């Protein structure tokens, strides 16, 4: 099975092959070519997998790297199809779309920017990794890098935990009024459309 894999350290997805497993549960993939040689993939990293379905429709899966075999250039990924299931929609106001995007974050109005990556994204919030240390209810500024665009958000830390020995935060996007809500939704839509289009174009190229 031929796939493409998107990792936040690369602007474009790279080709990979499924070695074993089920793409909707656990799958082992090997990266093709030399494009990945400068990629520092870590355990716990968010990745996006893409493949072409019937009639060349793009099928997108979000996942996490849970094991690495450097000798074989292979990665065990826990992945799941990125479609809005009814159960998920009942449980949450907005569906969480998987992501693997580079970002930076800092306390609102002060402090230094810290590296971050986006794990998933919805129209009301995101889940991120960051080396920065933030407390629940603190206000932050977040820059998300998507293609050639930098999209800026104000947000509040709603949850924090340790995952794969890294700081993981749930953040809620702050919208001051209805116009701000529409602007935020347009920014999120722009990110999702750009990422889906990028995956699809790379699938067609490979």
Which 8-state DSSP code applies to residue 54? Answer: G
Q: What residue ranges do the domains of the chain occupy?
A: 2-84, 86-194
**Is residue 1 over pLDDT 50?**
yes
Q: How far apart are CA 99 and CA 117, in angstroms?
A: 9
Q: In this structure, how many other beta carbons lie within 10 angstroms of the beta carbon of residue 88?
A: 12
**Is residue 87 over pLDDT 70?**
no
Lookup result for tokens 């690369």 = 10
Contact (Cβ atoms closer than 8 angstroms) between residue 129 and residue 166: yes
The pTM of this model reads 0.88
**Is residue 109 over pLDDT 90?**
no
Tokens standing for 87? 């159960």
**CATH number for region 86-194:** 2.40.10.220
Contact (Cβ atoms closer than 8 angstroms) between residue 104 and residue 112: no
Task: Give the residue, 72 or 93, on which the prediction is more confident.
Answer: 72
């Amino acid at each position: 099975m031929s796939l493409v894999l998107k990792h936040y350290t690369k602007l474009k997805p790279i080709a990979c092959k499924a070695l074993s497993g089920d793409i909707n549960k656990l799958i082992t993939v090997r990266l093709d070519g030399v494009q990945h040689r400068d990629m520092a993939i870590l355990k716990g990293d968010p990745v996006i997998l893409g493949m072409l379905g019937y009639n060349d429709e793009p099928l997108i899966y979000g996942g996490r790297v849970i094991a690495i075999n450097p000798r074989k250039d292979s990665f065990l990924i826990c992945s799941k199809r990125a479609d809005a299931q009814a159960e998920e929609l009942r449980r949450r106001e907005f569906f969480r779309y998987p992501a693997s995007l580079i970002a930076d974050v800092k306390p609102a109005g002060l402090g230094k920017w810290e590296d971050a990556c986006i794990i998933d994204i919805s129209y009301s919030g995101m889940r991120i990794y960051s080396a920065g240390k933030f407390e629940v209810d603190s206000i932050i500024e977040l820059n998300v890098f998507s293609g050639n665009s930098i999209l800026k958000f104000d947000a509040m830390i709603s949850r924090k935990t340790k995952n794969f020995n890294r700081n993981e935060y749930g953040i809620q996007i702050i919208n001051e009024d209805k116009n701000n809500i529409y602007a935020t939704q347009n920014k999120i839509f722009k990110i999702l459309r750009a990422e889906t289009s990028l995956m699809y174009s790379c699938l067609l190229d490979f």
